[in-house]
Structure 1
Amino acid sequence: MASLKEVRSRIVSVNSTQQITKAMKMVAAAKLRRAQDGIMQMRPYAQKLSEMLATVSAGAETSGDSPLKAIRPVEKVLIVVITSDRGLCGAFNTNIIKATLALIDQKYAEQARKGNVEIFAIGKKGAESLTRRGMLVNIGYTDLFGRLSFVNVKLAAEEIMKAFTDGRYDAVDLVYNEFKNVATQIIHADRYLPIPTEARPANSKKAEVNYIFEPSEEEILTELIPKSLKIQLYRAVLDSNASEQGARMTAMDKATENAQELLKDLKLVYNRTRQAAITKEILEIVGGAEALKN
C-alpha cells in the first residue's frame, strides 16, 4: 500500500492537471465560438459560388478549356492534408492520418510505390506524423493556423494551382475534417484538381438556358474558377479549425471528468491508508500499555 505522502502527492498532481484541463476546455470553447461563426458565415458563400460556377460552366462553350480542368493520366499525386498545430484534441489528427493512408492505399498505391505521392501539409501534426512514415512532405504552410486568414490560404491555393497547371501533379486531393457539431467531425477526402465536370441531365431546364456573357465567358470563367478553388480550400481550413476546437473541448471535458473520478479514488485510498495508520498506532499503544501492566 502506498504511503500517505505518496497519495497526497498524487492528489495534488491530479488536482493541478484538472485545473489545467478545465482552463483548456474554457479556452477551446471561446475559440470554438469564433471558429464556428467563421465557418457558418463562409459556407453559404462557398456553396453559392460553387453553384454559380456549375451553372455558368453548363451554359458556356469554352468551360472545358481551363487548364485547371485538364484530365491527364495520373502519374504524380499531391494530397493536401489539413491537421492541427497542437495535440490534446482526442483522435482529431489520428483520424486524418488514417484517412490519408487509406486514400493512398486504396487509390494511389501504384503511384506511392514509385514515390510519386507528395503531401502538402497544413498543420504541424500531420507533417510530423507523415514525415516519420517516410513520405515526401511539403512543409511550407504547416504554420497556417497561427496566421489564419483568407490572404494566407489564398497563397497556398495559388501554389497548388500553379503546380497542377505546370504539370508537376496530375491529381490533387483534399483530406480534412468537416465541422458538424462539438462532438462530431466528418472526414472528407475530396478531389480538388482537376475540377470535376458534372454532366447535367438531358431534360434539365438549366442546360437549355442560353447565357449572355459580359465581358466574355472565357474571362468570367478564368476569374471564377481560381476564386472558387481558393474559397474551397479556405472553407476546408475553417472547417478543420472549428473541428479542432470542438475536438479539443470534448477531449478536455472528458479529461476533467476522468481527473474527478481519479480524485475520488485517491481520496478513498488516502482515507483508508490514514485510518489503517491510526489503527496501527492505537494497537501499538494498547500493546505497549498491556506490556507495562504485565
Structure 2
Amino acid sequence: MANLKDLRNRISSVGSTMQITSAMKMVSAAKLSKAQDAIAKMRPYADTLKELLQDLSASLDNEANSPFTVEREVKNVLIIAVSSNKGLAGAFNSNIVKQVKTLATGRFKNEKISLAVIGKKAYEVLDSKSYIIDYHNEELVNHIDYKEVASFTEKIMKDFEAETYDQVVLVYNHFKNAGTQIVLTEDFLPIKQDMLDAEAETNQIDYIFEQEKQTIVEELIPKALKMQLFKALRDSIASEHGARMTAMHKATDNAKELRDDLKLSYNKARQAAITNEILEIVAGAEALSD
C-alpha cells in the first residue's frame, strides 16, 4: 500500500491542479462571453453583405468581371488554417491540423499545397511535417483587428491575382455553442459566379444604384473577402474559449474524482496503520502479562 506521506503529497498536488483548472475555466468563460457577443453582432452584417453581393452578381447576368471570380485549372492551392496561440483547449487545434492533412491527402492530393497558418499551435505541428508555409501570423489571434485582417487578406488576394495560387480555401472552427465547435472548410478564392447566381435566384431585390452595378460589385468583392476571413477569426476565437472552458471543466471534474480516490486510499492506509499499531500494543501487553 502506498506510503502515507506520498499519498498526502499527491492529494496536495491534485488539489493545486484542480484550483488552476477551475480558475482557467472561469477566465475562459469570461472571455467566451465577450467573444460570443462580438461574433453575434458581426454575423448579421457579414450575412447581409454576402446576400447583397449575391443579388448584384445575379442581376449582372454573369457579366461581373473581377480577377477574384476567374476560375483556372487548379495546380497550386493555398490552405488558410486558423488555430490558436495557446493550448489546453481539447481537440481545438488538432482538429484543424487533421483537416489540413485530410485536404492535402484527399481533395488536393494531385495539387501543390501551400499553407497560410494563423496561430502558433497549428504552425508548430505543420511546420514539423515539412509543409510549405508561405504565411504565418500569430498577432491576428492575439489582437484581432479588422485593419490587420484586411492587410493580410490583401496579400493573399494579390497572390491569387498574380496566379501564384489557383485556389484558396479556408479552414477554421465554427462556433456553435460553448460545448460544440465545428471544423469548416470554405472556398475562399475564386468566388464562383454560378454559386452566387444560384443562391441569389430566389432572393433578388430591386436596388436603386448610384453607380454602375459592375463598379459596385468590383468594390464589394474585396470587402466581402476581408469580412469572410475576419468572421472566421471571430468564430475561431469564440470556439477556442468555448473549447478551453469545456476542457478545463472536464479537467477539474477529473481532478476532483482523482483527489477523492486518493483521499479514500489515504484513509484506508491510515486506518490500516492504526490497526497495526493497536495490534502491536495488544500483542505487547499480552506478552508482558504472560
TM-score class, shorter: over 0.9
When the two structures are superposed, what TM-score results if normalisation uses the length of structure 2?
0.94
By how many angstroms is 1:211 displaced?
6.1
8 A Cα contact 2:175 2:238, kept in partner: yes
Counterpart contact for 2:169–2:187, Cα < 8 Å: yes
Query: Could you tell me the TM-score, scaled by structure 1's length?
Result: 0.93
Distance in 2 (alpha carbons) for counterparts of 1:246 and 1:6? 36
Matches within 5 A, 1:220-239: 220-239=216-235
Q: Output the amino acid matched with 1:169.
A: Y
Change over 3 Å in CA distance of 1:129–1:16 after alignment to 2:
same
Query: Greater shift after overlay, 283-292 or 150-159?
Result: 283-292
Q: Does residue 11 in structure 1 map to residue 11 in structure 2? A: yes
Find the aligned partners of 2:197 and 2:168 in 1 and give their Cα distance. Answer: 24
2:34 matched residue in structure 1: 34
- Cα distance in 1 for partners of 2:260, 2:34 equals 35
Consecutive unaligned residues in structure 1, runs of 5 or more: none
Alignment of 1:135 with 2:138, yes or no, is: no
The answer on 1:293 being equivalent to 2:281 is no
User: Which residue is 2:54 aligned to?
Assistant: 54
The superposition leaves residues 85-105 of structure 1 with CA deviations (integer Å, 9 ceiling, x where unpaired) of: 111111111111111111222
Tell me which of 119, 122, 125 is aligned to 1:126: 122
Q: Distance in 2 between matches of 1:237 and 1:58?
A: 28
- State the 1:61 CA deviation: 5.6
SS at match of 2:110: helix
- Structure 1 residues 69-122: Cα deviation after superposition (integer angstroms, max 9, x where no partner): 1111111110000111111111111111111111222211012xxxx2111001
Is residue 11–residue 266 contact of structure 1 (8 Å, CA) maintained in 2? yes
> Which letter does structure 1 place at the counterpart of 2:139?
D
Which structure 1 residue ranges, 4+ long, deviate > 3 Å from structure 2?
61-64, 204-207, 209-213
What is the deviation of 1:149? 1.4
1:100 aligned onto 2:96: no
CA–CA separation in structure 1 for the residues paired with 2:36 and 2:52 = 25
Equivalent residues, number: 288
Amino acid at match of 2:223: K
Secondary structure of the 1:12 match is: helix
Aligned partner letter, 2:170:
L
Deviation for aligned residue 1:220: 1.2
Partners in 1 of 2:135 and 2:274 — Cα distance? 61
Residues 53 and 224, structure 1, Cα contact 8 Å, conserved in 2:
yes
Show structure 2 runs of 5+ residues with no match.
none
Distance 2:240 2:3 in 1: 41
Deviations 1:127-149 (A, max 9, x none): 11111211112353123111111
Q: Which moved more, 1:227-236 or 1:150-159?
A: 150-159
Identity rate, percent: 49
1:36 to 1:66, Cα distance in 2 relative to 1, 3 A: same
RMSD: 1.9
Distance across 1 between alignment mates of 2:19 and 2:267: 23
Return the letter of the residue paired with 1:142: E
1-structure distance, mates of 2:206, 2:284? 108
Residues 139-148 or 253-262, more deviating: 139-148
- C-alpha distance 199-139 of structure 1, shift in aligned 2 (>3 A): closer
Q: Whole-Å Cα distance in 2 between the matches of residues 167 and 71 of structure 1?
A: 11
2:181 aligns with 185
In the alignment, which residue of structure 1 is the partner of 2:73?
A: 73
